[in-house]
A and B are shown apart, each in its own frame.
Chain A
Amino acid sequence: MQKSQEKNSGMAGIVGGLAATLGRILISFFVPVITFLVLWQVFIFLRDSNAPQVVIVLVAIIWGVAGVALLYIVSNWFVEQLPDPWPRRLQPFVYVGPAVVIMGWYLAVPVLRTLILSFKDDIGVKWIGFDNYIFAFTDRIMLETFRNNLLWMIVGTSFSVGLGLLIAVLADRTRFESFYKAIIFTPMAISFVGAGVIWKFVYTYKGEGVGIQEIGLLNAIVLALGGQSQPWLSIPPWNNFFLIVIMIWLQTGYAMVIISSAIKGIPMELLEAARIDGATEIQAFFKITIPYIKGTLITVITTIVIFSLKLFDIVRVMTGGNNGTNVIANEFYLQRFTYGNTGRASAIAIVLLIAVVPVIINNLREFNKDRRAF
């Protein structure tokens, strides 16, 4: 009698427990679904509504930020409701999962998809073998973009790094260091489009004629020195250099900041000892400063080279790639969005990727060296 009662209560316990678990699972299923539905409704509102713009912007900001936070809280709560070994097993993926999925969708998988598209025709249907690559490596315009990108890489990088180094070294010796550095660094906050406008104004040209005043700084200086005003942005190949000046203007600040902090890391004793031994400033610079900051210099050079490889905005805004100023990234844009040729655009993107492969390999090697424990 007593035994069966015990058994009964045990049964009830199991049933109750089952019901509770079921309820929990049901709730934990519905909460995410409801959350998702609410977020989706707001998305539809944002996409289709004609509300005043300020309202849309506010809703958009709150929805976007709160939505992501909510998704984390809900999915974490959901996983914690599961029976025992599962929370511990699944939780890491709640944290890492969204990032991995998004990175996979936006960067990792596209490498393969673009590779596949690069072997197909302009609308991505028929396989056409290596035709797009033959275009990418032999077409006259592509060869021009290769030449120009090479110019950007060599001239742009060497001037940005050289000037950055010069300014960092010189400013280190003055009392107004932070003032000088702030002026050189500020262009980093300006968009390439904004920088384009600033420099377009420097290069602007009105042409010859009675009573015409040049309002561009460069032409005014040239005229004041007794020269002829010029349409600087339409004389190939020199127009490339005038565009590269903009990149130098933007990137020198970056090089300067990084190099400057490396220079500050050189032990004073080292330089003092060299000076006592009778080394001139120039000797000290080449024998101590440069070798000491070599690693930093390589990082800076790599970063700026990658930057100049992918450069798009400046050329797009200033010349649109006309007059012999086209670059790879602009040709990519033109192929995809102006001529609608997915295959060729994909092949060009793969060319860009191939160019950064050495950097990827180097990054991985450095990373493994740093973190053997992983």
Chain B
Amino acid sequence: MTSGYKTQKITSSIVVNGILILICLVWFLPTLGVFITSLRNSQDIFTSGWWTVFPHKENVPSGEMKIDPSVNVDEPIQIEGITATFEELRQGVTLPDGRMLTWYGNKRTRTVIVTEEEWVGFFFKPLTLENYQSVLSGKEISFTDASGNQIVRKGNNLSDAFLNSIAVAVPATIIPILIAAFAAFGFSWLNFPGRGLIFTMVVAILVVPLQISLVPILQDYTKLNLNGTFLGIWLAHTGFGLPLATYLLFNYMSTLPRDLLEAAYIDGASNFTICTRLILPLSVPALASFAIFQFLWVWNDYLIALVFLGDKSRVVTYALASIVGEKGQDWHLLTSGAFVSMLLPLAVFFALQRFFVRGLLAGSVKG
């Protein structure tokens, strides 16, 4: 009875883990493929799949033999101590010592290719960081394509794009947090006419799709000469991030104990002191949650950068998307570019995942 229960438990555990491992494999393989490809020699990428870097046995050509013109190829042929017909040789014949003979082309070539099974893979052919150098550089780059031709292209200058992304993402994360933190303090602790109504508006515009704003805001930007400026895109990200930020921070700040604030007021602290010295430090978990949210959102954003920043200061998503457009088959550039674009968000994500999950759980739907 007990042992039956135990076996059942072990079986179900194997089934459960099996399903999960399978799903995880499906989730992980595409990224692994891109990562490995980004480290391969450009010519190899075009001629073999990325999975071939794993050590495996493959038939590698080691030489060729010419059949003497006197031999009649329509009859079984004596070769390397065995006898085989042309058809058999076309299919490939394995010799007792492990080598394989394969006829090359039609009968008239009279050529047999000898291949040997050998271990191949990245242990035997080193990986390279060259693709990363190419994609980061803004200068001319050259690489070898599938047929061995040398190709020269203008580099994509992803290092510049990386810097631009930082210049966009850092202020576009901090500015909305600052503004939202003050606003959330005002909404949760100060009394003023219209408080309820204005905050209800904030809740209402939480899920408004940002496409609504693009046309009119672009008109304003053209008038104000803000198109293609950092200030313009910071403000745009601030505008689109503020409802969520205000809402999240309000939810958090309004649960802080009232006694704490009253004590501070009695001690004669001004609103500004209370906000910056008391409320903000106490709200660090909520601020951090939103900061990670907003940072990932801004860094990974393509639409707003495309519309408001455009070609003038390319951010990584824009640069990557234009590699896809211009050089859709240059996989060595695409894969290394993709990894450059993922580097920082992945680092932030893994370092601060706890806060990110907390932010998610606080109910964040962004317009």
Contacts and interface: CB of A to CB of B under 8 A. Distances in A.
A226 to B, nearest CB: 17
A64 B367 contact: no
Interface stretch (A11-19, A137-145, A302-310): A302-310
Contacts of A186: 31, 346, 349
B215 A117 contact: yes
A171 B20 contact: yes
A78 to B, nearest CB: 12
Given A54-B163, A191-B317, A197-B320, A99 B182 contact: yes
B182 A103 contact: no
A128 interface: no
A129 B46 CA distance: 55
A190 B331 contact: no
A309 B209 contact: yes
A108 B215 contact: no
A68 B235 CA distance: 11
Closest 8 A/B residue pairs (Cβ):
A106-B239, A64-B171, A191-B300, A99-B183, A95-B186, A189-B349, A92-B192, A96-B186
B30 A317 contact: no
A241 interface: no
A136 interface: no
A111 interface: yes
A149 B353 CA distance: 31
B29 interface: yes
Contacts of B341: 191, 193-194
Interface stretch (A20-28, A283-291, A355-363): A355-363
Given A92-B190, A106-B213, A184-B27, 15 more contacts: A54-B163, A61-B171, A65-B175, A80-B272, A110-B215, A187-B31, A190-B300, A191-B299, A197-B335, A213-B48, A215-B49, A249-B30, A317-B324, A332-B211, A360-B207
A94 B276 CA distance: 14
Contacts of B337: 197
Contact of B180 (A99, A204, A313, A333): A99
Interface string A48-87: 0000011011001100110011001100100010000000
B182 A202 contact: no
B182 A176 contact: no
A232 to B, nearest CB: 13
A310 to B, nearest CB: 5
B288 interface: no
Contacts of A69: 178
A332 B209 CA distance: 12
Interface stretch (B111-119, B126-134, B240-248): B240-248
A183 B30 contact: no
Given A201-B331, A367-B200, A348 B211 contact: yes
Given A99-B179, A189-B349, A191-B342, A46 B230 contact: yes
Interface string B193-217: 0011011111111111111111111
Contacts of A249: 27, 30
B317 A193 contact: yes
Nearest to B25: A183
A220 interface: yes
A276 B161 CA distance: 61
14 contacts: A47-B229, A65-B175, A92-B195, A95-B185, A99-B179, A110-B215, A184-B23, A187-B27, A189-B346, A193-B317, A258-B361, A332-B214, A353-B212, A363-B204
Interface stretch (B11-19, B60-68, B75-83, B87-95): B11-19
Which of A54, A109, A113 lies at the interface centre, i.e. has the most chain B CB atoms within 10 A of its CB? A113
Interface of A: 43, 46-47, 53-54, 56-57, 60-61, 64-65, 68-69, 72-73, 76, 80, 89, 91-96, 98-100, 102-103, 105-111, 113-114, 117, 124, 163, 166-167, 170-171, 173-174, 176, 180, 183-194, 196-202, 204, 213-217, 220, 249, 252, 254, 257-258, 261, 299, 302-303, 306, 309-310, 312-313, 316-317, 329, 332-333, 336-337, 342, 345-346, 348-350, 352-353, 356, 359-360, 363-364, 367-368, 374
Contacts of A345: 214-215
A176 B174 CA distance: 36
B203 A364 contact: yes
A110 B213 contact: yes
A174 B334 CA distance: 37
Nearest to B172: A64
Contacts of A56: 167
B167 A60 contact: yes
B33 interface: yes
B39 interface: no
Contacts of B342: 189-191, 194
A107 B215 contact: no
A238 to B, nearest CB: 19
B120 interface: no
B175 A106 contact: no
A361 to B, nearest CB: 9
A249 B199 CA distance: 35
Interface in B310-367: 316-317, 320-321, 324, 328-329, 331, 334-335, 337-338, 341-342, 345-346, 348-350, 353, 357, 360-361, 363, 365, 367
A171 B13 CA distance: 10
Contact of B37 (A188, A201, A317): A201
A261 B361 contact: yes
B166 interface: yes
B34 A201 contact: yes
Interface in B236-264: 236, 238-240, 242-243, 246
A254 B30 contact: no
Contacts of B278: none
Contacts of A302: 365
